Structure 1
């Protein structure tokens, strides 16, 4: 119950030092019982965090080193290793070269898909308003529209709230219209919405399709959606949210889900959801780093150094200044498991989902909501109606 742990802990900091034995006793007796254990095999409330021994060890080392890699000069190895692991992952996913460090774009590790989406929106808005000033800038900013589906994660709405983007157009999905029996975003519905909004004097500037929605792992038809965006009179930034499903593309048989990705302006994949990396590690790639860096770069005197122009400064790719040495746990994990191990993990997850689906289909007490895809199985109790199913969910 809320407040139960607080009631068992002192109201103030202890005056004298306490032993590790005392501290760990309280961890076992007070903290562990009051946790929702995301690592438990019985945890099914959300997409699981999927850590591993090498990732945990690397996180320990990261905390021990305690470097803050906001610029190359502040932590050269942290900066360059981040470039390396982002490129490794991009190549595993089959992303085009425009997302590699050697291109005008590149990758960066954010804390979560929410942060990645926020940075994408910042870059998109900057690109839409760049060169405008004063009343002209304010007038256009008030007309900007972001397009999502009714299955898009709340990160889009949160980003619009934070950035005060006035218009979020939520396009309804229809089962089977754009994604077999699932709830994908139909390109013609997006095109129609953009036409309607332009007729009202609004300005479409960002489209956020999803590869693997939170509720049903729907896959939006990326290539067709990119085509809709490119048909608009002004550039529409396309940000692909592949936080969960994008990881599957490390397996060649699932890379067709990324068909059309070369047309995206930015892509996000959470390695902590399905690639054996502990939270937090969301990879964001941009095709052109320019809009993002120009929107976020700030160089006070105490941060200036002789390498600012010759080496990347990841502080300019994110909202905060400080950043952890997250690349270390990706490097440890990718080396320890190898590409083969990562693919085996994905394939085993998919196989287990299919096995669960088959068992449910043989049991008359259950029905499938949509067919299993990736590692998610959506089902409900066939009798008792909505009331029984909601009661079971509450339990």
Structure 2
């Protein structure tokens, strides 16, 4: 059996996911070969990553538990499923409270009714994590940036032109604009700074370009030639004499003598100043610095960087649902645009600082 590489999760919005209905198949399909779908923006999709709000959940299984969650973002909604073959995701859904903000990663799934009709697109969950509003907005902003880049490249994608020639990219772009406006509004209400990716996109209504300023051609010079500005030329004035020094300065001696006297006075003051600095003289009291208190047991020193604080925030948000797997934490960070972080190192540092515990190997919980 050949070794198949695990495909990356494509960041997608619900509206584009719902329209991803074209299956790409090259040659004879192997039982181990993943199914690849072509999205309207040209992404080749097997695994996806989405962020939104878990609006409702339901156990739709008959013999065994098979959970379904409806996840919505500002562009649309899609169903997420998890059963006995996705135990981690199923347990997370069981503990999930609806509504709540979530980040989901999983495989794209298609179902076409036998009697015909539209293809139903859903996600078979691999992991699902409950997050804060701020983290959800960061994830949606990052997903929007990736979607916009694909839209810009779709015009030159031959597969897109072939299968999605009539796709309404304007509607998708408009929904992204509404989404980014909502993220900015959420940040303002929370008193927080909008995600950097939103700021980079400059979320502003489309401005009509200003017409170029039309400068009328200057008419040929018909004015009489201007004479030299005689009015500005004042009559010659006598040279200004420098003010004479007062007579009384003469009695004070030359400047050199004055400097010498001042130096003598300064020299004369030296011993008096030395007497003031004598050992018996009073000196300003130096207040001793209060002893630094040792950090209390369990308290984290103020040395956590932004990445560690972000991981701690993810675990604290998920605390009511119990533990969180390391892979799920990595997926959440990947959704936020931090795929290159050393998750193992961050978790080890938080654990040594007493901020998190590891009740089971590979699963973590905030203290």
TM superposition score normalised by structure 1? 0.20
Please give the TM-score of this superposition, normalised by the length of structure 2.
Answer: 0.21
Q: State the structure with more CA Rg.
A: 2
Query: Greater share of helix residues, 1 or 2?
Result: 1
Greater percentage in strand:
2
